[in-house]
Amino acid sequence: MPQVTIEKKKTKDLSTLDVQNLIYEGYLETFKLRRGKSFDELLKMANDPRRYSKVRKKNKKT
């Protein structure tokens, strides 16, 4: 994240509208990063045992 954005986020005197715009940008950013998936969906994907069995199989082959 650019330094300017971080500094802006910390400013105590941000107006209500600025804060809401920052929040909105943050949500959009998270939404893009997570490719439209919710946190719960990502959590399930990350902890899906099938994912690790695939990795193990690959490792065995190599």
Partner 1 sequence: MYLNSSIMSSQITIEELDKLALDLCAFRKKPLLILYYHEFEGDMREEDITHICEEIRRRGVSRENKLDNLDVLLHTMGGDPHTGYRIAQLIRDITSEVTFLIPEYAFSAGTLTCMCGNAIRLGECAVLSPFDISFAPRRETSEDIELMSIDYFREFVTDSRAQVERMLQQVRSGSSTDIDSALLVEMTRQVGALNIGRFYRARTLTGYYAEMLLLEYMFEHLPNREDVTNKIIRGLLFEYPTHDFHMDFHISNKLGLPVEEMTVAESDKAKSIVSALRQLTVLGVICRTIRDAYKAPFIRLYSGGQ
Answer yes or no whether residue 16 interacts with partner 1 by CB under 8 A.
Answer: yes
Q: Residue 35, interface with partner 1 (CB under 8 A)?
A: no
Q: Does 53 bind partner 1 (CB under 8 A)?
A: no
Q: Where are the beta strands (DSSP E) in the chain?
A: none
Q: Does residue 52 bind partner 1 (CB under 8 A)?
A: no
Of 20-28, 44-52, 53-61: span binding partner 1 (CB under 8 A): 20-28
- CA dist list (Å): 32 to 16, 21, 23, 49, 53: 24, 16, 14, 25, 28
Q: Tell me if 7 contacts partner 1 by CB under 8 A.
A: no
Q: Name the amino acid, one letter, at 43.
A: L
